[in-house]
Structure 1
Amino acid sequence: MNSSITMLAAHNNATWCDAVCRAHDRPGEFHETIWLTRLGTPRFYPDAVTTAGVEAAPAQLKAIADLISSNRRREWFVKDSFHCLRLESLGFEPLFDAEWIAMSGVRPDGRHHQPGDRSTIVTDEAGLSAWERSWADEDAKASAIPLPRVFMPGLLADDSIVFVSIQGEDGSTGGGILNRGADVVGLSNLFGSQMDRVWRSLIAIAGESFPGLPLVGYEHGHDIAAAKLAGFETIGPLRIWRLPATAR
Structure 2
Amino acid sequence: MITDSRATPPPPLTAAVRNNAAWCDAVCRSHGVGGTVEGGVWASALRTPPLYPDAVTLSPAVTPDDVLPRIDLTSPGASVKDSFGTLDLSRAGFEVLFEARWIHRPATEPAPSRADGWEPVEGTGRLLAWEAAWSGDGESEGLFRPALLDDGAVFLAPAGTGPVTAGAIAYPGAGAIGVSNLFAADDDPDADAAWRSCLEATDRLWPGVPVVGYEHGDDLAAAIRQGFEPVGPLRVWLRTDG
Q: Identity of paired residues, percent?
A: 40
More moved, 22-31 vs 124-133: 22-31
Q: Secondary structure in 1 aligned to 2:48?
A: coil
Counterpart for residue 5 of structure 2: none
SS at match of 1:238: strand
The equivalent residue for 2:150 is: 157
1:91 alignment partner in structure 2: 93
1:57 aligns with 2:33: no
| C-alpha deviation, 1:172, in angstroms | 8.4
Structure 1 residues 10 and 156: alpha-carbon distance in aligned structure 2, compared to 1, 3 A threshold: same
Tell me what 1:67 maps to. Answer: 70
- Alignment map for 1:94-173 (pairs within 5 Å): 94-112=96-114, 115=115, 117-137=116-136, 140=137, 148-158=141-151, 160-166=152-158, 173=165
Q: Does the Cα contact within 8 Å between 1:118 and 1:167 map onto a contact in 2?
A: yes
Cα deviation for residue 167 of structure 1 reads 6.2
Amino acid at match of 1:181: G
CA–CA separation in structure 2 for the residues paired with 1:36 and 1:86:
17
Ranges in structure 1 where 5+ consecutive residues have no aligned partner: none
2:76 aligned partner, one-letter code: R
Residue 209 of structure 2 corresponds to: 213
For 1:57, give the aligned amino acid: V
CA-CA distance at 1:99 after TM superposition: 0.3
SS for the counterpart of 1:46 is coil
Give me the whole-angstrom Cα distance separating, in 2, the residues matched to 1:110 and 1:44: 30
Measure how far apart 1:111 and its partner are.
2.4
Q: Pick from 84, 97, 101 the counterpart of residue 82 of structure 1.
A: 84
- Residue type of the alignment partner of 2:36: E
Moved beyond 4 Å, runs of 4+: none
Q: CA deviation at 1:147?
A: 6.3
**What SS class does the counterpart of residue 150 from structure 1 fall into?**
coil
Deviations 1:114-156 (CA, angstroms, capped at 9, x unpaired) = x2x241210110110000000002xx37xxxx66321001111
- How far apart are the structure 2 equivalents of 1:147 and 1:208? 29
Partner residue, 1:17? 24
Normalization by structure 1: what TM-score?
A: 0.85
Q: Is the 8 A contact 1:167 1:173 kept in 2?
A: no
- Alignment partner of 1:184 is 2:215: no
Bigger helix fraction: 1
Could you list the per-position Cα deviations for residues 184-236 of structure 1 after superposition, in whole angstroms to 9, with x for gaps in the alignment?
11010000124212111111111122222111000011111110111111111
Structure 2 unaligned segments of length 5 or more: list them. 1-9
TM-score, structure 2 length as denominator? 0.87
* 1:231 paired residue number: 227
